[in-house]
Amino acid sequence: MATKKKQSVDIVIPVFNEAGVVEQTYVCLRDVLNGLPYDFRLIYVDDGSRDGTIDSLRKLANADPRISLLMLSRNFGHQAALTAGMDAARGDIVITMDADGQHPPEVIPQMLDLIKQGYDIVQTQRLEEAQPASFKKWTSGLFYRVINIVSGTRMLPGAADFRALSRQAVDALKSMPEYHRFLRGMVSWMGYSSIILPYEEPKRVAGKSKYSFGKMLRLASDAVFSFSLMPLYIGLSAGAIFIILACAQILYVLNLWISGQFQKIVPGWSSLMAVMLIASGIIMILLGFIGVYVGYIFQEVKRRPHYLLKGDKRDE
């Protein structure tokens, strides 16, 4: 009797300077996967680590044949590392998760069940109430509020890059070639049948966050400028309001002249300066926005690859 072939699942795990941490989180992940009726493959993507992470990963790969290792030629960032892993994935289902223990593997069986039920995207959502107040929580809350105002694509607050995708959804994502990648937004833009799975985020197993403030800002600007033209409209409408105010002022002055009350017009240096400063401020902001978009266009038209691989155990 022919046995039904097990579905293959690729788990993509980007890693940057996580020596020590990867071994611990691998053990937890392995324990969860061992009981599940799927063919798993773990794709660890080393994003240019400079500590002993690569040695740890090699050790793991030698002990477990289900592990493949991809090494990027330098630190390209979390989103590029995820992209590299998804490009290498061949499974029927692809799961992406962090290596630091903040994405609990205990959620994976539920994710797989939902994909089996026919969903293309199982998107997890961090339960914010469970998080202690912190700078990261505050900036993340602010970010989602802003992005949902300026972008036409609705983005889920607390959405993590911890999700399961069907083959169809992975192929769709791979067909989106943009250089500035904000995967959370790209996934919600795609549509398909998706479901939200809330989870409580544990603390990092060890080590510090690899998202420096600069990297957080870069991700936020990728999200805003690649998902919205709203900043241009903000500048334009502020400019329009100023032109309307200027017209009103001209009418007011004309009216005083016509009614013979021109002695009322006091030489108004301060008001003139205020108008000039505000108007030139708006022009500068608007030029800045245009500059950012031109910069983004410049980087897109270069059509650079999102990442480069270093030779080693590259997957066949």
Residues that bind ligand UDP (CB under 6 A): 14-16, 18, 47, 75, 77-78, 81, 98-100, 102, 209-211
In the bound complex, what is the minimum distance in angstroms from residue 16's beta carbon to ligand UDP? 3
CA distance to 22, 105, 267, per residue, from 55 (Å):
11, 23, 75
75 binds, among Mg ion, ligand UDP, none (CB under 5 to 8 A by kind): ligand UDP
Six-digit token pair at 123? 């998107």
CB-based contacts of 208: which residues, under 8 Å, 6+ apart? none
Do the beta carbons of residue 227 and residue 188 sit within 8 Å?
no
Radius of gyration of the chain (CA): 26
Residue closest to 114 by CA, chosen among 205, 197, 209 = 197
Comparing CB distances to ligand UDP, the nearer of 92 and 123 is 123
Residue with tokens 């799927």: 38
307 binds, among ligand UDP, Mg ion, none (CB under 5 to 8 A by kind): none
In the bound complex, what is the minimum distance in angstroms from residue 231's beta carbon to ligand UDP? 25
18 binds, among Mg ion, ligand UDP, none (CB under 5 to 8 A by kind): ligand UDP
In the bound complex, what is the minimum distance in angstroms from residue 123's beta carbon to ligand UDP? 16
Residue closest to 205 by CA, chosen among 105, 305, 66 = 105
Residue with tokens 């995820």: 82
d(CA 207, CA 223): 27
11 binds, among ligand UDP, Mg ion, none (CB under 5 to 8 A by kind): none
Draw the binding track, 88-127, toward Mg ion (x: CB under 5 A; -: no contact).
------------x-x-------------------------
In the bound complex, what is the minimum distance in angstroms from residue 91's beta carbon to ligand UDP? 20
What is the DSSP annotation of 32-59?
HHHTSSSEEEEEEEE-S--STHHHHHHH
In the bound complex, what is the minimum distance in angstroms from residue 204's beta carbon to Mg ion? 6
Q: What does the binding site for Mg ion look like in residue numbers (CB under 5 A)?
A: 100, 102
